[in-house]
Amino acid sequence: MLMAAPGLRRVYQAAAIAVAAASLAAVGASYAVRPASQHTTYCAILPDSVGLYADNPVTQMGYRIGKIKTITPGALDVRVDFTVTERRLFPHDVRAIIRSTSILADRSLELVGNYESGPRLRAGECIPLQRASTPMSLSEVIGSATNFINTVNPNGSTNIGDIVRGLDQAIHNNGVGVNALLTTSSAVLDSPDRAINDIGSIIANLGQLTSVLKDLRAPLKEILHDAVQTMPYIDEASEGGRRIVEGVVWVTPLVEDLEVNLGQEIQFTLDATEVALRKLSEHAPRTANLLNPIPWWINTAANHFNSRPISTLRYRPPLYRIHTPDGVALCNIMNSSMAGSCANVQGQPFAVDVALLQYVLNAAANR
């Protein structure tokens, strides 16, 4: 057993040395297979190259992957040749933009787009102008601002002066009001809780109002449908009301005349009646006893007249004598037109006076 232990230890040492040698060989092989970083040249056609210089960095997603080699200006564009020092693949539709952290700082060429699959940008190819973008330069920004100001206020114009003058005239003698407005606005901005609370109350009230209108929608619809049938009756009632008002208008002058002409007498009569009723009310039992015989008197008179025959009273309307040679013939003509309008008394015709006007009107109507 003692002899076997040193032999086993030698075996372990030999195995460890073999594993270490294999590891070193694998690492060396990987370094031998991995190629060194290569320099690949591309180019981009840009609208301008303001802020770009040779040796400026070329970046992708903000990470530097190369540098600008040369800048060649053209008539309408600029050709920028750059070298990529990192092993990168770019899609065929990669974009080139000029990026900078500020207007005054040097700029870098940024490649936008990561390769996943499909065609790729080959070495030596150029990114066309359609896929290139450059930021505005400081001079262009200042020029645009100058053009805007010149458009708003051209040379010789008094637009801005007129605006300032108008504001001055509007604020003149209104300092107290402007101060109050600014103070109120400041208070609202400092403590907007009250205004927000008011707005919330308005919204809550509007919600309640909307709910009430929603609940009343069905009854209102029914009322409108019923109004189609009830409106004719309302029209008739209004017509009756108009007639009542016309009657009241006619009665009012009559009452006024009675009050003006007989008002004092009517008042005296009412006062006397009031006194008599007050006196009689104090002796109501005795007054009732005085009225007790009246029914007996009425009954006695009724029995007296009912038990005795009384001849019928005859009534003859007033007559008007017609003085005419042929009075009888005329009387017959009148009776043919209206029966009973003329009476023949012993050969002498008499026209009834009360029906004479009616006879004339009927005769006129027959014509």
pLDDT confidence of residue 127: 94
CB neighbour list of residue 344: distance below 8 Å, 6 or more residues apart: 328, 331, 350
Domain ranges for the chain, please list them. Answer: 40-141, 319-366
Return d(Cα 39, Cα 60) in angstroms, integer. Answer: 16
Is the Cα dihedral 224, 226, 229, 234 positive or negative?
Answer: negative
pLDDT confidence of residue 129: 92
Residue pair 125/42 in contact (Cβ under 8 Å)? The answer is: yes
Return d(Cα 19, Cα 247) in angstroms, integer. Answer: 132
pLDDT confidence of residue 83: 95
Residue pair 85/95 in contact (Cβ under 8 Å)? The answer is: no
pLDDT confidence of residue 79: 95
pLDDT confidence of residue 69: 94
pLDDT confidence of residue 42: 95
- Beta strand pairing call for 108-112 and 57-60: parallel
Return d(Cα 236, Cα 41) in angstroms, integer. Answer: 102
Using a 10 angstrom Cβ sphere, with 0-12 exposed, 13-18 middle and 19 or more buried, the burial of residue 44 is: buried
Helix (H) or strand (E) segment spanning residue 111 = strand 108-112
pLDDT confidence of residue 94: 95
pLDDT averaged over 10-residue windows placed end to end, the chain, 367 residues: 49 59 50 54 90 90 92 92 92 91 75 91 92 75 75 76 83 84 80 75 90 89 89 88 83 85 88 87 81 79 72 57 72 76 75 58 63
